[in-house]
Amino acid sequence: MADGTLLEFGIDSFEFEEGGQTKTRAQVTRRLQDVVGLPGSRITPQERHIAADLLIEVLRESDLGTRIRCAERMALLVDAPSILLRYLAKDELQVAIPLLEVCEGFNDSDLIATALAPSATTAHRVMIAKRKQVSEAVTDVLVNLGEVDVIQALLRNDGSTFAHPAIEQATAMSKQESSLVPLLVRRPELRPSQGLTMFWWAESEERRRILQRFAVERTTLLEAAQDIFAKAANDGWRDPLVRKTLQFIERRQRNRDAANRSPYGSLEGAIEALDHQLPSRELFVEISFLAGIKPMCGAQILSDGGGESIAVLCKATGLKRKHFRLLWKGLRRPMSDDSDLSDPWGRSVLVFDTISTNKAQTVLRYWNWALTSAMSPTLAAKLEEGDEELLYSVAARSSNLVFGAGS
């Protein structure tokens, strides 16, 4: 009785016509797909994997249409062997799309292997980035490859999640790739350190959103540290770390000691001096000290093309609109109508009018701390060397981004 073996059919010497070979191969391909797709109640995992191995061998010599149809069928399965899914996902894009778009059989390891495969293209990785759910592990790998199209797709995808390092890297890239800024601003994972650093190269609309989101009151910090101010004063402010931390939290912004030493007597006096003398480095340094910030931070603010940061400085230091206007004119900036939001002055007036003093102080103090406290020569050298410890220094990273290479 026939047992269905190859020898019985004389397969060792039987020759197919070309058309018959194609037809029979198509039948074999379909049958193997049928076996791979059987429910778990009808096939053992071992037999399913054997069928998948055989199917891969057939697909190696199959035409594009056959591979596409196979991929479309495998995309509907949740328990297809990962080796088969990986093989098809690394194929030409027409084959990979059905799988990368919807197949739930992929785990993170499969997606990462596909993204890093030599045959994978940017288009493959864009499809992975657009999947319904993209984990932090997969996102990290995709962002590390530095492909703008892929990162844009990830940032637009509400189903993707970002760990801190991936958002940090995307923020750094946004300095050269401005298209990333509006996408980053809307991401829930973006931290104040990243948003307020990105402010310096963001456009006006994104600047407004950054300030709305990260300009916050310091009420809880003030309450938590209330009793420590007196203790630190009794200690003579000897601990520089305590002093720096409490300076960030305290309510007072201006530097009274600087005002007592200044030939201008006050911040208002220094600004009024701009009305009858040319702007100078010395005067800008004086304004910075009187405002309670360091000259490096003051220089960044006063040279800011957009001007919104000047509004933040004026509001944080309690200046009235008169002196805000005098500072703007003293910097020799053109001045339009206050309500003209197409002009830097109008947009800066809007910031001045809508941000509270306390919130403006939070932003100004963050800039002063982040842009200046990390820029000692020693720390700058360590940043260039990629010192791992500085990965955890927000101030070091922020100042390096603003003032570092590529600025």
pLDDT tens figures, 313-333? 999 999 999 999 999 999 888
Task: Grade residue 385 by pLDDT with cuts at 50, 70 and 90.
Answer: low
Cα–Cα distance measured from residue 227 to residue 328, given in angstroms and rounded to the nearest whole number: 39
Cα–Cα distance for residue pair 171/165, rounded to 1 Å: 10
State how far the Cα of 95 lies from the Cα of 127, in Å rounded to an integer.
12
Instruction: Give the three-state DSSP class for 355.
Output: coil
Could you report the per-residue pLDDT of 118-156, keeping only the tens digit for each?
999 999 999 999 999 999 999 999 999 999 999 999 999
* Residue 352 neighbours by CB under 8 Å, 6+ apart: 311, 314, 315, 321, 324
Closest CA to 399 of 378, 380, 377, 382: 380
pLDDT tops 60 at residue 399 = no
**Angle of CA points 322, 367, 390, to nearest 5°:** 175
The tokens 């990462």 sit on which residue? 112
Token duo for residue 351: 């910031």
Task: Judge whether residue 30 has pLDDT over 60.
Answer: yes
Angle at 139 (CA atoms; ends 138, 145), nearest 5 degrees: 100
pTM: 0.78
In angstroms, the CA 341 to CA 394 distance is 33
Q: Cα(320)–Cα(315) distance, rounded to whole angstroms?
A: 8
CA distance 281 to 304: 15
How far apart are the C-alpha atoms of 156 and 296, rounded to whole Å? Answer: 35
Question: How far apart, in whole angstroms, are the C-alpha atoms of residue 197 and residue 257?
Answer: 29
d(CA 226, CA 66): 72
Burial zone of 45 (CB within 10 Å; 0-12 exposed, 13-18 middle, 19+ buried): exposed
One-character DSSP codes across 360-386: HHHHHHHHHHHHHTT-SHHHHHHHHHT
Work out the angle between the directed axes of helices 82-89 and 45-60 (0-180°, nearest 10): 20
Residue 320: predicted pLDDT: 95
* Token reading at 250: 């305290």
pLDDT at 6 over 70: no
- For residue range 261-317, list pLDDT tens digits in order: 999 999 999 999 988 888 888 888 899 999 999 888 888 898 888 999 999 999 999
Distances (CA, A) of 97 to 51, 77, 90, 108, 399: 23, 15, 10, 17, 42
Q: Choose among 217, 213, 212, 244: nearest CA to 228.
A: 244
**Distance set, CA 84 to CA 61, 67, 108, 179, 322 (Å):** 15, 11, 15, 37, 71
Residue 9 has pLDDT above 50, yes or no: no
Q: What is the tens place of the pLDDT at every residue in 201-251?
A: 999 999 999 999 998 887 777 777 777 877 777 777 777 777 777 767 777
Question: Is pLDDT of 403 > 70?
Answer: no
Q: CA-CA distances (angstroms) from residue 340 to 206, 344, 348?
A: 18, 8, 10
Contact criterion met (CB below 8 Å) for 208 and 351? yes
Rounded CA separation 104/76 (Å)? 8
pLDDT bucket at 372, cuts 50 / 70 / 90: low
Using CA atoms, how far apart are residues 25 and 21, in angstroms rounded to an integer?
6
